[in-house]
Chains A and B, each alone.
Chain A
């Protein structure tokens, strides 16, 4: 059952031809922190692992008419990037809280998103940063907003012959402050009980120009709390407004009871952390 081949192609073209050759037998592997666990737990039994680790040109973080992050970029690179920390803070929060340093050294952001766990720590941040996923297949590239990328737990719109090569994050995020809260029992090696990401564009007079709220683990996929966002737009940045936004966001979620947390608790924590993250985002924006 642990008998699989491992191939590490050096170019994306070779990846496509190998995927074609092996078809359903093949599983793509990047950092391997999800794939290897799934193989051990017998959720996956690939005939061949096609590694993306030969595609080192997909490891980058840059700003050039928007922000561009390569699909093979590790969480540790995001954690150590001043650009991400200062201008895409929610993503920095999310990437820095994944697993442990050892895991962050190998785990990639592309893998985190393609694995499509409802608990993915970079998903909420990418949602509120309005990120766009760039998929590349034999026929070329296509772009899909992160909000439309997930179709359910562990499922996405990515076709089996496609590789996630990049995240494009709009330039206007430089006008937003953002923050992500991973609510978990431990400070390391843990999954979130829920995740709350908030990005805010605040005017100098503390009017909320725009707000984006991302929630994870409270629905089959990470979601945007659109009604809460709509409520906030044009309002003044005040405690009662934020609390109401938290209540609306909580009503947009559909959390379930699991061994990791009770539904009522998850719902309550949305009410607590939407305001807290909004405040942190505003602080980082420098308005309050």
Chain B
């Protein structure tokens, strides 16, 4: 057992009382004096030429302060591949294309003005299927690239191709091989708090953007680049997070509405807020991208994997955001989930006239793991090996170097598989085919940062005042994950104070040091390590102060006591012991002697020392402040797309027991066991919150959630027809926390934000197969699909 006071304890969340009582200021509540409300007009077509835009009526509407079209703003290209403009001037390529925007004195007037804008279109042929889009003669979504060079294909110039070992060699060594076609569809991140921002320029044209991004410095960088192209080079940019109501990937890239908001603020010289409604969340935000996989695997007679070959086609939509980089994360499960010596992987992203895609929790991993874990089951069956045993044979282990060159430092996969089997009652329940069945699937994910940009660092600043209160300036974003509490625990533990003494300020580019963003399950790991480093420095300063002042203060106390009580005899003490900071430490607000923690005299409240030592007169006064920047020794992917992206990796296994109604095709989850190697739980309650939330999202991904697009248009842009599960649909989840501890993690912790989602859908699919002998390889697994498959199998 560790002797930690705060780390590893389920300390209640601190600031959430404001959220549940409605006091927290989300972007919806946030107002600036004189603020206007922006609204965006979107395209009426999936692909069309804009013939004319008439804004006269909108401009005349009382209360309207600005109407912008593509002709009113600089024609600057933005986005990951610079393949779109802020307001579309000539051609629209998807239904969410931003055609015009207004700013008005109220949201209602802004909306009315939008309705008064008349746009004349000439419809163009469109393509909605990535396979169709790759064919010769398919309508081109983009006629030229960012530089104006003519394009001949809808295939993105992002060739994701990875090879390790020799596939043919692997095939020769195989006793069994299988090939499967699996597919997944669009799902929406469904943040509770809708997207929005407030852009405000001062009279020097410096920008403050109150924004929900979870990558404040990335956002600042992209806006800075935009500024340099619209004549605002050199103007200052400050990004401030309001309270963020969830991001799940949506706030990773700078979205088009942010640039539009900036343009409206620039035009009106007033603060402008754009706030999405739920329909816009569905129609005008980039969702998780659909993918189709052809997955081929082989194993030898003993069940050892021999090769894995995966080809993926991703529907990119009309433009490119970070979604186009998800194949890099897909590569992780493709190359490194279970031990496979020979790998071939290719992913093709294709432009279509569907809405474009972005990141979502798991970032490609849920799609790819659905492919891998479907194939693992079909191969196990062909080889005649129990699916759980098959995974055990091929499990990753500590010390592995995977074909992608990921260094597996700690790995609890064996324990995860074992505990899932035991808790779900695997051996008694599997293989019955009686309408009830069990299924299993595992995951690997980055859990110690993810180096996708040059710096994967996180900066933190710590200052301590005369009362012993600690302010932490933290460059991450609190998007609801509970970091204010976890970081307080880590700071309290490493500095020697209590969590309630610590205040954490998040998300302000002016106050905080650089950070790569709160994504990729990296925040606790990165900020935790940075916090420990900063706290060590601050602690050193406090202990130096203590070594200087403690002997004097103790002696002076004795003098006071002697004055009061003439009988008092001053004890003879070796003050040299506490005159050396190396001999001292701080714990639970007390400064004490390391060699004798229970010494009757050599211990003192930290605030007593700080009050005595901080403000002492000319030349002697000082502050306690420290900063640290943790940038781990990880690697970016090399030209072969290999490299150790992360300091450590998370593993986990999900087991599901289902009951399938053969008449209706309905699937009921009877129990779900989610075992996760988390390194070390910093706050078990908060950690379980992450697991429950992610698992639940995974159940939706597996069974109910899908954005229904008809010819590029989202047909179910609301929670009535988008089947996000409700509180009434909860399923029994048994979490299992596996804590091998990781040397690189803060107090041994790994990241756990995304993992719970990843293996959920394939485990459900595998359980359905076990229950009724029918395998669904297309998400979500709707009752209609199940029933149709049952009919076809008869």
A and B pair up: yes
What residues of chain A have their CB less than 8 Å away from a CB belonging to chain B? 1-2, 100, 183, 185-191, 259-262, 265, 268-269, 272
Would you call B721 and A259 a contact (CB within 8 A)?
yes
Closest residue of chain A to B277 (Cβ to Cβ) is: A40
**Residues of B close to A268: CB separation below 8 A:** 787
Would you call A189 and B787 a contact (CB within 8 A)?
no
**Shortest distance between the CB of A43 and any CB in chain B (Å):** 13
Would you call A189 and B708 a contact (CB within 8 A)?
no
Would you call A190 and B720 a contact (CB within 8 A)?
yes
Question: How many angstroms from the CA of A4 to the CA of B708 in the assembled complex?
Answer: 34
18 additional A-B pairs beyond A2-B108, A188-B728, beta carbons within 8 Å, are: A1-B108, A1-B111, A100-B728, A183-B664, A185-B723, A185-B783, A186-B723, A186-B725, A186-B726, A186-B728, A187-B728, A187-B729, A188-B727, A189-B719, A190-B723, A261-B784, A262-B784, A265-B784
**Residues of A close to B727: CB separation below 8 A:** 188
- The B contact surface, by secondary structure, is loop
**Residues of A close to B716: CB separation below 8 A:** 259
Closest residue of chain B to A40 (Cβ to Cβ) is: B277
Name 14 A/B residue pairs within 8 A (Cβ), A-sorted.
Answer: A1-B108, A183-B664, A185-B723, A186-B723, A186-B725, A186-B728, A188-B726, A189-B719, A189-B726, A190-B720, A191-B720, A259-B716, A268-B787, A272-B663
**Residues of A close to B728: CB separation below 8 A:** 100, 186-188
Question: How many angstroms from the CA of A259 to the CA of B782 in the assembled complex?
Answer: 12
Question: How many angstroms from the CA of A11 to the CA of B708 in the assembled complex?
Answer: 46
B704 part of interface (Cβ distance < 8 Å): yes
8 Å CB interface, B1-56 against A: none
**Residues of A close to B548: CB separation below 8 A:** none
**Residues of B close to A262: CB separation below 8 A:** 784
**Residues of A close to B108: CB separation below 8 A:** 1-2
What residues of chain B have their CB less than 8 Å away from a CB belonging to chain A? 108, 111-112, 663-664, 704, 708, 715-716, 719-721, 723, 725-729, 782-784, 787
Contacts known (A186-B728, A191-B720, A260-B721); A265 close to B112, Cβ less than 8 A: no
**Shortest distance between the CB of B188 and any CB in chain A (Å):** 15
**Shortest distance between the CB of B617 and any CB in chain A (Å):** 63
- The A contact surface, by secondary structure, is loop
**Residues of A close to B721: CB separation below 8 A:** 259-260
**Shortest distance between the CB of B667 and any CB in chain A (Å):** 11
Question: How many angstroms from the CA of A186 to the CA of B705 in the assembled complex?
Answer: 11
**Shortest distance between the CB of A192 and any CB in chain B (Å):** 12
**Residues of A close to B720: CB separation below 8 A:** 189-191
Would you call A187 and B663 a contact (CB within 8 A)?
no
**Shortest distance between the CB of A209 and any CB in chain B (Å):** 27
Question: How many angstroms from the CA of A123 to the CA of B663 in the assembled complex?
Answer: 25
**Residues of B close to A185: CB separation below 8 A:** 704, 723, 782-783
**Shortest distance between the CB of A71 and any CB in chain B (Å):** 25
Contacts known (A185-B704, A186-B729, A272-B663); A1 close to B112, Cβ less than 8 A: yes
Question: How many angstroms from the CA of A1 to the CA of B708 in the assembled complex?
Answer: 29
**Residues of A close to B726: CB separation below 8 A:** 100, 186-189
The 6 closest A-B CB pairs, nearest first, are A188-B728, A187-B728, A272-B663, A188-B726, A185-B723, A265-B784
**Residues of B close to A260: CB separation below 8 A:** 721
Tell which of A100, A186, A190, A259 touches B708, judged by Cβ atoms closer than 8 Å.
A259
**Residues of A close to B729: CB separation below 8 A:** 186-188
Question: How many angstroms from the CA of A185 to the CA of B708 in the assembled complex?
Answer: 15
**Residues of B close to A190: CB separation below 8 A:** 720, 723
Question: How many angstroms from the CA of A1 to the CA of B61 in the assembled complex?
Answer: 13
**Shortest distance between the CB of A160 and any CB in chain B (Å):** 27
**Shortest distance between the CB of A25 and any CB in chain B (Å):** 19
Question: How many angstroms from the CA of A189 to the CA of B783 in the assembled complex?
Answer: 18
**Shortest distance between the CB of A274 and any CB in chain B (Å):** 12
Would you call A269 and B725 a contact (CB within 8 A)?
no
**Shortest distance between the CB of B44 and any CB in chain A (Å):** 16
**Residues of B close to A2: CB separation below 8 A:** 108
**Residues of B close to A269: CB separation below 8 A:** 664
**Residues of B close to A186: CB separation below 8 A:** 704, 723, 725-726, 728-729
**Residues of B close to A187: CB separation below 8 A:** 726, 728-729
Would you call B723 and A272 a contact (CB within 8 A)?
no
Question: How many angstroms from the CA of A185 to the CA of B664 in the assembled complex?
Answer: 11
**Residues of A close to B783: CB separation below 8 A:** 185, 265
Question: How many angstroms from the CA of A269 to the CA of B664 in the assembled complex?
Answer: 7
